[in-house]
Chains A and B, each alone.
Chain A
Amino acid sequence: MFFFLFCYFSIVSLASIPYFKTIQIDQENSNVHVNVLFQDHEGFVWTGTDRGVYRYDGFLFNHIHIEANDSNENVTCLAEDINKSLLVGLSNGGIMKYEKGYFTSIKSPFSSPVKSLIQTADGVLWVATYGEGIFYLNKLGWHRIPGLPDPFIYNVVQHPTGVLLAGTDQGLVVIDPRDKQLHYKVYNTQDGLPDNLVREIYCDKNGEVWLGMQEQGICKFNLSSGEFTVPDNLKSWNFGSITCFSKLEDEFWIGTSDDGIIDFEFSEDKRVRTFSKSNGFGYSSINDILRSNDGNIWIATENKLLFTPGEKYEIFHGDKNIVFDSIHAIATDQTGYLWLCNNQGLFRYDYINSGSIRKFLTDPKYKNLHIVSIYEDASGYIWLGTFDNGLFRLEPNSGYVKRYSIGEGLINANIIAINGSGNKIWLATLGGISLCEIPDDLLEEAKGNYKFTNFPDIKGSGGSFVYCVYIDKKGRVWFGTDGKGISVYENGSFKSYSQFDNGKGKVVYSITEDPMGNIWFSTLNHGIYRFDGKKFKNFGLSSGLKNLNISGLSNDRAGNIIVVHQKGIDIIHPFTFEWEYIGKEVGIDELDCDLNAIALDFKNNIWIGTQHGLIRFSNNAITTNHQPETHIQKIYSFMRAGSGLNDSIFQYNQNQISFEYLGLWYSNPEAVSYRYRLIGLSDKWITSRDRIASYPNLPPGKYRFEVMSSFNNQFLHPKIDHFNFKILKPIYKQTWFVLIMTIIGSIGLILFIRDRELRFRRIELLKKEKIEYQFETLKSQVNPHFLFNSFNTLISIIEEDSSKAVNYVEKLSDYFRNMVQHRDKDTILLSDELEMVLNYYYLQQKRFGNNLSLEFIIPENWKRKYQLPPLSLQLLIENAVKHNSVSHESKLKISISATDNESLLIVNNLNPKFYPDKSTGIGLENLVSRFRILSDKEVRVRRTETEFIVEIPLI
């Protein structure tokens, strides 16, 4: 049974918009107005705002405060000088240079907004101002280019030939900075420039120049011929004033002041798309566009910063009439259409040319048709597999539909997948496999009276639930089954594999093939397998797969395996097994796809039908050798940041060192993982997701810290950053210190020994002196004169008074006893000495009577407080008696008195004897040297004409 159907056409246009992510710059301040964007030589993206500059690392915007004189932080220009330092131009004419973490101001003679900053190779800084023309700063100072047609300069760029191109209100100015006279040439409408108001200039390395104008769109400028050319399809420009643009190969993104963004491709199909307020983009005024070197596009608009991977990924949401949601199956055909079916029906989308959508099967009887598979055969017929309603064959041009079901010989009415090659069409159903062979006769084919060969669960074909069918390059037909693994039909017979990997791969959903002829298939909950004809290799979460809920596999023309799963898309390079993941960052993190919702078009774009739209990602999206830029950001010692990366020598007690690093990957910063090691400690790489590595208690030595980053955990072409440093030995372990300490120690020892020797010598000397002294004293006491005199005195006393004589003898014996008693001591108390002196005085007084007098003027408390060498006073008095004549005519007066400075003054008058006693002088000499040894005070001996004065210090 068959029937005709006349289709109802519904044609509507469809616009697609890339995924734009809004990035919040300042969490505290939502009104930051981004004026300019810039990418530095390290790859960091900087935003110049009305509130200063921010550096973005993929996670945070680091606000770098400009300490300008008048608190103006309205940034109008960002650039780098020849030393790669950031230059910032401000709206008040200020220029700041950012170096080693600090801004320094470059004084300028103008106050108009700075629009461009260029330092040419000779070191001259060129500045375009908006209102005061062009200035340059050389060694001699600031100069202004005189006589420019207009003082309002929008932009200055340097052409590879060295000349400067400036856009003004009155045309394009070409200046040769090497010309001493600074002659310049002005191009305006008379020279073919479409519009005098040149607001933006683009110049690439090859010298290609494009101009963006206020009213006339863009044009190309040939510097050598001076010609201006406008692309054909942009001859009539109606998008308003251009503010900025970015160019990559043949694609332009043009920002305007009122009409959003114009995406213009002039090479292939010369497509022009707009993203504006009216078509869902939501913004009309664009301040700046930056294409960072990782291919992402940054847009500064109104109060927002937008980020998009650009062309690479696009989502088509349908239009007012048809919403591309709940897509069940998609397929591309040879004529350049995309077929898709969802709950609303079957559609054909002209994605190449008009963007129109045409609905098929509009007859109400198809309303509840559940199409789950679409296939275009070699003759251009569209085959549709349904749930419960069998198979349909559609002739797209006439809309003629033919239906096949069990009645027509089909094995089952649930057609899950269709595939074919040549005149053989294979059908995977919930009741086994059907093969339809199309007759060669075109007329017969048009009638569509096909016969089916059925394989209902025949031996070796696997289970009766067949989910997918794939025909490989060798012509083998592969089937994925529910419960019986994968089956292959080759040379008329089936072969089944279900017991590999402990039977984990029994449920197979999708099959594809790589350029080496290996078969890849996805399974329920166990990831994907690669089958090389002998072995099955599994790729699960540990191999890099992001999700196990896989809905489809496909290969692209470059040979990559595309895995569509719930969390997005994984791309596997079959030669290197490198993985790339695309998901959240392009807004496709919650994919809920049906089994047949993946297709490849002739331009190698991959299409995926999801619950929430139709996704296309282009062939150049797959960039396997692009890796994050790794940067060591900060080095901490005990969590205190060091002064940048210059400090590379640490003290032994600064040996807890942490490194903060970053893999710059704007596409998906969270996906970046790191490997690091510390050569000197261990050569083994440590894998981590942390952006900080810490090493506590590093022993002294030389180290090299290395870190690399990867967005897919594979580190196949990593960019390594490193940091060399040294931890010093503690001071007491350093050679120079040990040497110095040894020398100091030896000197100390020598000094000590010498000192000891000296002391010993002094003690020796003292002993000797003492002995000499004692000997002298004894000698003097046992002096026969003394005894003789004493005995004479005694005799006279005995005669006079015997009791007195006894007393005298007692005193004499006391005197000798005391002498013997004290002579060994170094010092004795003053009172003891005085007692001896008194005894002696008593003995002498008996002899001399009143002719000898002795007086003491000593405070009472001194007597027990101070000490002195024994017999010292005795010696002096003895000397006085010995050397002076004592008679009635010449009386001898001795006085012992205390002085203010703790010493005794012994004074006697001089009555020299006529025949002086023989004197050795040893007694006094000894006394002096004894005092010298015992105390630091000197014995002072003076002799005046009338007096003999000795001052002895008390000890």
Chain B
Amino acid sequence: MSINFHKCICLIIVCFFANFVFAQERYFIKQSELIFESDAPLEIIKASSTDLRGVIDPNSNTFGFKVATLSFKGFNSELQRSHFNENYLETEKYPEITFSGKIIENIDFNKPGIYSVRAKGMLNIKGIPKERIIRCNVEVKVNSIELKSNFDVSLDDHDIRIPRVVYQKIAPIINVTLKAVLQIQNSK
């Protein structure tokens, strides 16, 4: 399964980040906020990144997003931040979190309005891909779209092990909130 999805991811990434052969209209992220929240009994940890990059291709109904793990700011202390990067996400080895795949429902990008769709794809955190189907609100405007989503990520799914000592401080399920504005851009 993973082999195929890797292929899929590669393909999509190639499509989006390389020079395009066909002149097509795509939506690229201009503004974003990605917040994660760990609501453990003893501590609430919150961090966010505005450095989400990504693209939606309205023709093939596919998408690709990525965020550098080092771009997350917030946390309750600098120590916690470095702990997060070094121990839990192994930032050096896995500098990015990616999510790419396809949109299940059809969106009429020419018709402004709010669409609730599902994005199905591979969420890759710490090098461990997991197939996810994530509900997402898409507001289509003229030449731009606004994304809003809220979903959970289970640490167990991505093999992120929490030491017993800090179990009370980090929740096994992390809540993620996403807001992004994408603008249309003509590729060559």
Tell me the A residues contacting B by CB distance below 8 Å.
Answer: 76, 91-92, 111-113, 130-132, 169-170, 196-197, 214-215, 241
With A214-B118, A215-B118: A196-B105 Cβ-Cβ less than 8 Å = yes
Interface string of B106-121 (1 = CB under 8 A from A): 0000000000001010
Segment 54-101 of B: residues with Cβ below 8 Å from A: none
Residue of A nearest to B105 (CB): A196
Task: State the CA gap A214–B105 with chains docked (Å).
Answer: 13
Closest residue to A150 on the B side, CB-wise?
Answer: B102
Given A91-B1, A130-B1, A215-B118, A241 contacting B105 (CB threshold 8 A): no
Q: Are the CB atoms of A112 and B1 closer together than 8 Å? A: yes
Once the chains bind, are B104 and A112 in contact (CB under 8 Å)?
no
* Assembled-state Cα–Cα distance A132/B7 (Å): 12
A130 to B4, CA, bound (A): 9
In this assembly, does B8 line the interface, its C-beta being within 8 Å of a C-beta of chain A? yes
A215 to B118 alpha-carbon distance, docked (Å): 10
Task: Give me 9 A-to-B residue pairs in the complex whose CB atoms sit less than 8 angstroms apart, sorted by A's number.
Answer: A76-B1, A91-B1, A112-B1, A112-B4, A130-B4, A214-B133, A215-B118, A215-B135, A241-B133
Closest 6 CB pairs of A and B: A131-B4, A113-B1, A112-B4, A91-B1, A214-B133, A169-B104
Whether A111 and B4, one on each chain, are in contact in the complex, defined by CB atoms closer than 8 angstroms, is yes
Q: Which residues of A contact B1 (CB under 8 A)?
A: 76, 91, 112-113, 130-131
Instruction: Say which residue of B3, B105, B135 sits within 8 Å of A111 (CB atoms).
Output: B3
Taken together as a complex, chains A and B put the C-alpha atoms of A155 and B158 apart, in Å, by 26
Please give the distance in Å from A50's CB to the nearest CB on chain B.
Answer: 11
Nearest residue, chain B, Cβ from A196 = B104
Closest A-chain residue to B133, C-beta based? A214
List residues of chain A with CB within 8 A of the CB of B133: 197, 214, 241
Most buried by A among B1, B5, B8: B1
Task: Kindly provide the distance from the CB of B153 to the nearest chain A CB, expressed in whole angstroms.
Answer: 12
Q: Contact: A131 with B8, CB < 8 Å?
A: yes
CB closest chain-A residue, reference B102: A169
Report Cα–Cα, A170/B105, bound state, in Å.
Answer: 8
**Pairwise interchain contact A92-B104, C-beta atoms closer than 8 A:** no
B residues with CB within 8 A of A: 1, 3-5, 8, 102, 104-105, 118, 120, 133, 135
A214 CB contacts on chain B under 8 angstroms: 118, 133
B120/A169 in contact, CB under 8 A: yes
Q: Closest CB of chain A to B46's CB: distance in Å?
A: 23
Cα distance A131–B8 when bound, in Å?
A: 9
A131: chain B residues at CB < 8 Å are: 1, 4-5, 8
Give every chain A residue within 8 A of B118 (Cβ-Cβ): 197, 214-215
Q: For the complex, what is the distance from the CA of A170 to the CA of B120, rounded to whole Å?
A: 11
The CA-CA distance from A794 to B3 in the complex, in Å, is: 129
A132 to B5, CA, bound (A): 11
Chain A residues near B105 (CB-CB < 8 A): 196
User: How far does the alpha carbon of A772 sit from the alpha carbon of B8 in the complex, in Å?
Assistant: 115
Residues of A within 8 A of B5 (CB): 131
Q: CB distance A170 to B4 under 8 Å?
A: no
Chain B, residue nearest A170 (CB): B104
User: Closest Cβ of chain B: how far from A500's Cβ, in Å?
Assistant: 65
Closest to A113 in B: B1
Chain A: minimal CB distance from B171 (Å): 14
**Least CB distance, B126 to chain A, in whole angstroms:** 19
Q: B3 — which chain A residues lie within 8 A by C-beta?
A: 92, 111
Give A111 to B4 CA distance when docked, in angstroms: 7
Cβ distance B106 to chain A, nearest Cβ, rounded Å: 9
Which residue of the partner chain B has the closest CB to A110? B4
Report how far A648 CA is from B8 CA in the complex, Å: 55
Task: Provide the bound-state CA to CA distance between A17 and B133, in Å.
Answer: 30
Q: Which residues of A contact B104 (CB under 8 A)?
A: 169-170, 196-197
- Shortest CB-to-CB span from A776 to chain B, Å, is 109
Q: How many angstroms from the CA of A241 to the CA of B4 in the assembled complex?
A: 22
Complex formed: what's the CA distance from A494 to B1 in Å?
79
**Hey, which chain B residues are within 8 Å of A132, CB to CB?**
4
Most chain A Cβ neighbours within 10 Å, of B3, B4, B104, B118: B4
Q: Compute how far the CA of A11 lies from the CA of B168 in the bound complex, rounded to whole angstroms.
A: 33
CA distance A506 to B8 in the complex (A): 80
Q: How far is the CA of A711 from the CA of B25 in the complex (A)?
A: 70
Which residues on the A side are within 8 Å of B102 (C-beta)? 169
From residue B53, how far is it (CB to closest CB) to chain A in Å?
25
Query: How far does the alpha carbon of A25 sit from the alpha carbon of B159 in the complex, in Å?
Result: 23
Which residues of A are found within 8 Å of B8, using beta-carbon distances? 131
Closest approach, in angstroms, between the C-beta of B135 and any C-beta of chain A?
Answer: 8
Question: Taking the nearest CB of chain B, how far is it from the CB of A856, in angstroms?
Answer: 103
Residue in B closest to A257 when the chains form the complex, CB atoms: B133
Kindly list chain B residues whose C-beta atoms are within 8 Å of the C-beta of A197: 104, 118, 120, 133
Across the interface, which residues of B come within 8 angstroms of A215, CB to CB? 118, 135
In the complex, besides A113-B4, A131-B8, A132-B4, 10 extra interface pairs with C-beta distance below 8 angstroms are A76-B1, A112-B1, A112-B4, A131-B5, A169-B104, A169-B120, A196-B105, A197-B118, A215-B118, A215-B135
Q: How far is the CB of B130 from chain A (nearest CB, A)?
A: 11
Give CA–CA (A731, B143) in the complex, Å: 95
Q: Which residues of A contact B135 (CB under 8 A)?
A: 215
Residue of B nearest to A199 (CB): B133
Least distance between B47 CB and chain A CB atoms (Å):
24
Give chain B nearest CB distance to A461 CB in angstroms: 66
CB distance from B44 to the nearest CB of A (A): 21
User: In the bound complex, what is the Cα–Cα distance between A214 and B133 (angstroms)?
Assistant: 9
Given the complex of chains A and B, what is the CA–CA distance between A169 and B120 in angstroms? 9
Q: How far is the CA of A91 from the CA of B104 in the complex (A)?
A: 23
Instruction: Tell me which residues across on chain B come within 8 A of A169, comparing CB atoms.
Output: 102, 104, 120
The residues of B that contact A241 with a CB separation of less than 8 Å are: 133
A92: chain B residues within 8 A (beta carbon): 3
Of chain A, the residue at the smallest CB distance from B157 is A285
Q: Closest CB of chain B to A589's CB: distance in Å?
A: 34
Residues of B within 8 Å of A130, CB to CB, are 1, 4
Q: Which chain B residue shows the least CB distance to A197?
A: B104
- Closest Cβ of chain A to B117, distance in Å, is 11
CA of A113 to CA of B5, assembled, Å = 11
- List B contacts of A113 (CB < 8 A): 1, 4
For A93, the closest partner residue in chain B by CB is B4
Give the distance to chain B from A495, nearest Cβ to Cβ, in Å.
70
Write the chain B residue with the least CB distance to A112: B4
A112 to B120, CA, bound (A): 17
**How far is A130 from B120 in the complex, measured between Cα atoms in Å?**
13
Closest chain A CB from B172 CB (angstroms)? 11
Q: For A196, what are the chain B residues with a Cβ–Cβ distance below 8 Å?
A: 104-105
Residue in A closest to B5 when the chains form the complex, CB atoms = A131
Distance to closest chain B CB from A720 (angstroms): 45
The chain B residue sitting closest to A76, CB to CB, is B1
Minimal beta-carbon separation of A154 from chain B (angstroms): 11
Contacts of A112 in B (CB 8 A): 1, 4
Residue of A nearest to B173 (CB): A258
A196 to B104 Cα, complex, angstroms: 8
Within the complex, the shortest CB–CB distance from A34 to chain B, in Å, comes to 16
User: In the docked arrangement, what's the CA distance between A131 and B6, Å?
Assistant: 12
Nearest Cβ distance between residue A114 and chain B, in whole angstroms? 10
**Within 8 Å CB of A111, what residues of B?**
3-4
Q: Which residues of A contact B120 (CB under 8 A)?
A: 169, 197
**Bound-complex Cα distance A111 to B3 (A):** 8
A197 CA to B133 CA, complexed, in Å: 10
Measured in the bound complex, the distance between the Cα atoms of B106 and A170 in whole Å is 10
Q: Which residues in B have their C-beta under 8 angstroms from that of A76?
A: 1
Bound: A92/B5 CA distance, A: 12
Tell me the complex Cα distance, A91–B4, Å. 10
A264 to B120: give the CA distance in the assembly, Å. 28
Complex-state Cα separation, A196 to B105, whole angstroms? 8
Q: How far is the CA of A170 from the CA of B1 in the complex (A)?
A: 19
Q: What's the nearest-Cβ distance from chain A to residue B168, in Å?
A: 18
Which residues of chain B have C-beta atoms less than 8 A from A91's C-beta? 1
What separation, in Å, do the CA atoms of A918 and B188 have in the docked complex? 138
A476 vs B82: C-alpha distance when bound (angstroms): 84
Nearest-Cβ distance from residue A301 to partner chain B, whole angstroms: 13
Bound-state Cα–Cα, A130 to B105, Å: 19
A132 and B1 CA atoms in complex are apart in Å by 11
- Considering the chains assembled together, what is the distance between the CA atoms of A249 and B102 in angstroms? 37
